[in-house]
Structure 1
Amino acid sequence: MDVLDRYIRDRSQKDPEFKEELKKADERLDASLMLVKLRDEEGLSQRELAKKANVAKSTITKIETGQMNPTFNLMDKIVTATGRQIKLELI
């Protein structure tokens, strides 16, 4: 475990607000990576995906850059517009 990992672990244990913000950042990163992978696999630009999903291009951009933590319904709308589905799992 490196210095950063120890800092994050220790700060998360001491500061519930930090822990919650870290969780939100992880969720934004997951959504971002999912959308970028989807676009890449489907060969779509942000504009093309936005048009298919009937959302603003800025919405796709904000999700991909981590500026937005999208709802499940929004991600489902975007993903299903490509004919794909989201699979939820308990871990």
Structure 2
Amino acid sequence: MDAAEVLHFARKDAELTVRELAERAGVAASTVSRIERRQMDPTVGMLARLIAAAGLELELRSLHTYRGNFGALADALEVDPDGTTHPDWTRLRAVLDYLYLHPTLTQAAIADKPEPSGSELLDNLLAGIAEKISDDAGLPRPSWTKDVPALTAPWISPGTPRMQAVDRSETPPQLAVRGITLAANNLWRDRRTEVA
């Protein structure tokens, strides 16, 4: 869950309106509203203050999100307030950054087949990503990727028609054959442009 969801559910659980929660916390109602609409990322202190005003306590934990293998990514989904799901892009990028920094772990990281996620898109993303990093590293592709059927309906990253045209031209072939249109730089950093 992100800050917007945590705050929304805490406020609803306390049966408070945006204005009532804001008054209890001593902040502007627009602050609560902007956080819940994901227009503002609160500090941990601000979120703790708002959660406390709803009668709850904020507890933070640090967890390894990659745990060294793709098998741990079957739950890399985020749920929007309207109930729709989408891949947890931050978590996927974190795994790819980790493997970039630890290339000797690549083969072991992609060896285990992730459990079905319930999302045809995520299952195909994981398979396509595993195939791309295998190809890039000169490793054999993991056998489990063959068991993941391509999307039944093509998926293209959201954006303007111009942005989508760029995505089409920059989609790795390993994703394209699975029906996914997503520019590589949406997941993989361009290491050539990084400043040392």
Judge same fold: TM > 0.5, yes or no. yes
Q: 2:12 aligns with which of 40, 44, 63?
A: 40
Larger RCO: Structure 1 or Structure 2 (Cα < 8 Å, ≥ 6 residues apart)?
1
Question: Structure 2 CA distance, aligned partners of 1:81 and 1:63?
Answer: 15
Query: 1:84 Cα shift?
Result: 1.3
The answer to whether the 8 A contact 2:10-2:56 is kept is no
TM-score when normalising by structure 2: 0.31
**Aligned-residue RMSD, C-alpha:** 1.2
* Structure 1 residues without counterparts, runs of 5 or longer: 1-28
Matched, 1:77 2:52: no
The one-letter amino acid paired with 1:68 is: M
Give aligned pairs, total: 63
Question: What corresponds to 1:53 in structure 2?
Answer: 25
Question: Structure 2 CA distance, aligned partners of 1:81 and 1:65?
Answer: 19
The structure number with the bigger radius of gyration is 2
Question: Structure 2 CA distance, aligned partners of 1:82 and 1:64?
Answer: 14
Identity of aligned residues (%): 37
TM-score when normalising by structure 1: 0.65
Structure 1 segment 9-48 matched on structure 2, within 5 A: 30-48=2-20
Question: What corresponds to 1:66 in structure 2?
Answer: 38
* Structure 2 residues without counterparts, runs of 5 or longer: 64-196
Question: What corresponds to 1:17 in structure 2?
Answer: none
The structure that is helix-richer by fraction is 1
